[in-house]
């Protein structure tokens, strides 16, 4: 149909038909075009192409929409094998398209050298085999004219996109004009931003997700204007400064993730206002001060991660009031005092507990046996002393148990042999005495890593079946090292 025309002429013809053009290129010289909003035209084009006895996947056809509510480029798994790339061509009429409701931009590059067709907004690319050597792929400021758009996703996948092929450059402040946005996601290693003030006008947002190490600024107080947010994820950026207290006024918030930044200052007691919150992740920052007791009033909380900060003070006993809490990570801080027994109430739902590498004192509470759902327990390097509580045997789901580098003493409880799911067991560098329970040794070949002798005053059992001689020798050698 248009196959005999020069490529540039075909593009100009398509540019007259609809404001948006989606076209695909075969690895052969033949070209296949699919036009958004012109289903019949697209079908005629497809019918006149040679697909080597295989028609394109029906999912690759464009559904007819008078005013499209969703536009997304096809993922690679939905592209016919003959196709190398899927492109979006936006001609000068781009800024007049106000009816577009959704734009999903997921980049996966595997195709040939792109054509130079200015003005070309390469909003999404999906393909299969080779890598496109892109040079310029910036977020256009013209997006600010799409005032009725409700979702914008700009994502560079690091697993499929090498560094020079990702979105790069600054986030245009004009995105702040897209005041109908409900979801905003920007994810790319080379996307930069010196100020997030533009977010303050996006008052309809319910989900805000941004990841880039080049987002180097403070979190502006105007984020408090986003009253309908239920997901705020600004992790893996280079944000600095304190967490603005305005964030704690976002009472619809269910997920707060500010991890892997450079945030500093204390965690405000106003965190208690987040009564609907399910997950708080502030790990890998420079936060200081005490963990506010008010966290214990967040009764819907399931996941609390404050690890790798500079937090001080005691572990609040009020955390034991969080009846839905499943994951608690406080490791890598400077917390002091004992582990509160109140942390482990009856019917405790904890699955993952990490208090390692702190400055704690005291014993491991026997109440830890109430955590019958516990899978991972990491208390290494926490400065604990006393005996290992035999009640740990009630944690029948336990797979990872790490108590290394403490001051634990006494024998290894025989009851730990009942932990049949155990795969990682580390008691190194304590003051443990006595004989390693034979039942514990007997299961080693069916399990994973067991480190018990080094740095202790333990000895292996005298009577070991031939099948376990290798393990017996390993333990004796470890004892002598």
Q: Kindly report the number of other CB atoms within 10 A of residue 252's CB atom.
A: 15
CA atoms of 298 and 473, how far apart (whole Å): 51
Both tokens assigned to 254: 């269910």
- DSSP conformation letters of 119-171: S------B-SSS----S-----GGGGG-TT--EEEEEE-TTT--GGGS-EEEP
Asked whether residue 40 is domain-assigned, the answer is yes
pLDDT score for 355: 98
Asked whether residue 26 is domain-assigned, the answer is yes
CA atoms of 228 and 182, how far apart (whole Å): 9
CA atoms of 272 and 263, how far apart (whole Å): 20
Is 287 in a helix, a strand, or coil?
strand
Q: Please give the angle made by the CA atoms of 65, 70 and 72, to the nearest 5 degrees.
A: 115
Q: How many domains are contained in the chain? A: 1
CA atoms of 149 and 152, how far apart (whole Å): 7
Asked whether residue 234 is domain-assigned, the answer is no
Asked whether residue 186 is domain-assigned, the answer is no
pLDDT score for 190: 83
CA atoms of 76 and 28, how far apart (whole Å): 18
pLDDT score for 21: 35
CA atoms of 138 and 190, how far apart (whole Å): 10
Q: Which residue has the tokens 């893996």?
A: 236
Residue 115 domain boundaries: 1-97+109-133
- DSSP conformation letters of 290-337: EPPGGGGG-TT--EEE--SSEEEEEPPGGGGG-TT--EEE--SSEEEE
Asked whether residue 358 is domain-assigned, the answer is no
Contact 437, 464 (CB under 8 A): no
Is 436 in a helix, a strand, or coil?
coil
Specify the pTM. Answer: 0.72
Asked whether residue 183 is domain-assigned, the answer is no
Asked whether residue 479 is domain-assigned, the answer is no
Per-residue pLDDT of the chain in tens (481 residues, 90 and over written 9)? 444 444 444 444 444 333 333 333 322 333 333 333 333 333 333 333 333 333 333 333 333 323 333 333 333 233 333 333 333 333 333 333 322 333 333 222 222 333 222 222 333 332 232 233 333 357 777 777 777 778 777 776 544 433 344 677 899 999 999 898 898 988 888 889 999 999 999 999 999 999 999 999 999 999 999 999 999 999 999 999 999 999 999 999 999 999 999 999 999 999 999 999 999 999 999 999 999 999 999 999 999 999 999 999 999 999 999 999 999 999 999 999 999 999 999 999 999 999 999 999 999 999 999 999 999 999 999 999 999 999 999 999 999 999 999 999 999 998 988 888 888 888 899 998 888 877 776 655 456 567 666 767 666 655 444 443 334 333 333 343 3
CA atoms of 150 and 67, how far apart (whole Å): 14
Asked whether residue 33 is domain-assigned, the answer is yes
């Amino acid at each position: 149909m248009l196959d005999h025309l020069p490529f540039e002429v075909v593009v100009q013809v398509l540019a007259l038909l609809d404001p948006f053009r989606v076209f695909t290129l075969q690895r052969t010289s033949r070209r296949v075009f699919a036009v958004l909003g012109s289903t019949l035209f697209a079908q005629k084009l497809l019918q006149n192409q040679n697909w080597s006895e295989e028609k394109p996947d029906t999912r690759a056809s464009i559904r007819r929409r008078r005013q499209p509510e969703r536009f997304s480029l096809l993922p690679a798994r939905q592209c016919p094998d003959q196709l190398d790339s899927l492109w979006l061509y936006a001609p000068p009429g781009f800024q007049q398209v106000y009816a577009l409701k959704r734009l999903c931009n997921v980049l996966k590059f595997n195709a040939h050298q792109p054509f130079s067709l200015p003005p070309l907004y390469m909003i999404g690319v999906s393909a299969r085999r080779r890598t496109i050597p892109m040079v310029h792929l910036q977020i256009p400021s013209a997006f600010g004219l799409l005032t009725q758009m409700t979702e914008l996703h700009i994502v560079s996948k690091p697993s499929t996109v090498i560094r020079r092929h990702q979105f790069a450059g600054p986030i245009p402040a004009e995105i702040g004009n897209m005041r109908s946005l409900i979801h905003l996601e920007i994810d790319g290693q080379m996307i930069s931003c010196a100020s997030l003030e533009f977010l303050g006008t996006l008052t309809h947002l319910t989900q805000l997700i941004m990841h880039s190490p080049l987002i180097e600024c403070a979190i502006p107080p105007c984020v408090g204007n986003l009253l309908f947010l239920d997901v705020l994820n600004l992790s893996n950026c280079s944000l600095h400064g304190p967490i603005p207290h305005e964030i704690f006024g976002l009472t619809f918030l269910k997920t707060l993730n500010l991890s892997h930044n450079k945030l500093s200052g204390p965690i405000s007691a106003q965190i208690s206002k987040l009564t609907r919150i399910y997950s708080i992740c502030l790990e890998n920052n420079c936060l200081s001060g005490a963990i506010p007791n008010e966290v214990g009033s967040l009764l819907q909380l399931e996941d609390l991660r404050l690890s790798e900060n500079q937090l001080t003070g005691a572990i609040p006993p009020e955390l034991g009031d969080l009846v839905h809490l499943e994951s608690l990570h406080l490791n890598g801080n400077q917390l002091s005092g004992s582990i509160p027994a109140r942390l482990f109430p009856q019917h405790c739902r904890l699955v993952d507990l990490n208090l390692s590498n702190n400055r704690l004192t005291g014993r491991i509470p026997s109440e830890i046996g109430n955590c019958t759902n516990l899978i991972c327990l990491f208390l290494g390097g926490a400065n604990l002393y006393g005996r290992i509580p035999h009640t740990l045997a009630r944690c029948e789901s336990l797979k990872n148990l790490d108590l290394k580098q403490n001051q634990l003493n006494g024998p290894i409880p025989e009851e730990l042999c009942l932990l049949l799911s155990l795969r990682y067991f580390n008691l190194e560098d304590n003051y443990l005495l006595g004989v390693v329970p034979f039942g514990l040794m007997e299961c080693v070949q069916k399990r994973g890593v067991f480190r018990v002798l080094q740095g202790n005053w333990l000895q292996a059992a005298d009577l070991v079946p031939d099948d376990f001689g290798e393990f017996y020798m390993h333990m004796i050698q470890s004892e002598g090292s």
